[in-house]
């Protein structure tokens, strides 16, 4: 094999693996995100929007209905706490 081909394969393997790792990190961040009472609701919604933006930037499209349902589910804990007080 030529040096150029070996170099190309090495770079491709490295960066494709890093891309997969980054995507997994962002997905984990989205799935694990939980809202808390100690922060304002608006700042937490903005954090969620940034995570969703990162998902889109990595080429991972998510159905809009699923996005809305996920955000509502993450909000439900806070809303349940406030309603029960």
Q: At what angle do helices 41-57 and 64-84 cross, to 10 degrees?
A: 160
Count of other CB atoms within 10 angstroms of residue 26: 19
Q: Over the stretch 8-40, which tens digit does the pLDDT of each residue have?
A: 777 777 666 666 788 888 888 998 888 887 888
> How sure is the predictor about 48, in pLDDT bands with cuts at 50, 70 and 90?
confident
Helix, strand, coil tally for the chain in percent (to 5): 80, 0, 20
Q: Decide: 53 and 26 in contact? Cβ < 8 Å.
A: no
Q: Over the stretch 52-84, which tens digit does the pLDDT of each residue have?
A: 999 889 888 888 998 888 888 887 666 666 655
């Amino acid at each position: 094999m030529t040096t150029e081909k070996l170099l190309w394969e090495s770079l491709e393997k490295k960066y494709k693996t890093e891309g997969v790792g980054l995507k997994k990190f962002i997905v984990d961040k989205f799935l694990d995100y939980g809202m808390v009472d100690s922060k304002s609701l608006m700042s937490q919604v903005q954090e969620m929007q940034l995570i969703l933006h990162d998902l889109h930037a990595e080429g991972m499209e998510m159905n809009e209905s699923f996005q809305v349902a996920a955000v509502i589910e993450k909000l439900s804990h806070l809303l349940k706490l406030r309603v029960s007080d």
